[in-house]
Chain A
């Protein structure tokens, strides 16, 4: 009886130990600039992301309209013509970090494979990239970058501007996670 109680106690304590780290204000940036033309880039400073530090699972969400451009017209075209953000307001990522061990992460940077599904405009695409992890004070920092192509998400770029937009769009992530209580 005592044994069962002990096992139950352990099971319960393990299951409630699913610790999470999160951020509401992660930076997601994309760059699609071509040299000698007006830079095509924008930053979303309001990305939400949650990491389960026991399993290494990660989920993130951003609102396309929260990408801020320096030029108003570019932002308008991005939302209306390319991203169709009133129909597809969100872009999400769900995936996992391989061999993620929270206690092994220190102030020195460590790379882990980040794998998952990116959903943009309702189209799913598998992403695989190396992400850098480190700890700073009580924060968990994650940085990663990867490239996607507009056609992966059925985004048509008119011929007239196609020379000003890079064929591969680079996406940069920099998230500072804090413990979720």
Chain B
């Protein structure tokens, strides 16, 4: 099958446009970046973190931190670090890996300071 010059041109244009369209679509519809691949903004112990951010928690919203501390409580969705930081786990199956009163290190996203319960809240937490 031979195509005329004009038809070849039309087909090339169509292919180019569909590739561009597809690229734009995948860019626009991409899912949020997974916590595993996000850049860490702070890393340290739970006390260091609290000291650093407690007066201006708003600025620390959506920041990614790696924080270590003692597990003081475990519930069915997450864990309490040093009685002051609540870490909601990304996957609840990770709970089986944790023992109370152990020291652990967690990567998570700060969502804000909860003034009803007076604790700092992290979500999407993964155990390092």
Contacts and interface: CB of A to CB of B under 8 A. Distances in A.
A24 B61 contact: no
What size tier do the contact residues of chain B reach?
A: 20 to 34
B116 interface: yes
A25 interface: yes
A68 interface: yes
A68 B32 contact: yes
Contact of A61 (B30, B86, B114): B114
A70 interface: yes
Range class of the A interface residue count: 20 to 34
A75 interface: yes
A140 to B, nearest CB: 15
Contact of B58 (A66, A69, A89): A89
A63 B62 CA distance: 10
A111 interface: no
Contacts of A178: 75
B31 to A, nearest CB: 6
A24 B121 contact: yes
B29 interface: yes
A22 B31 contact: no
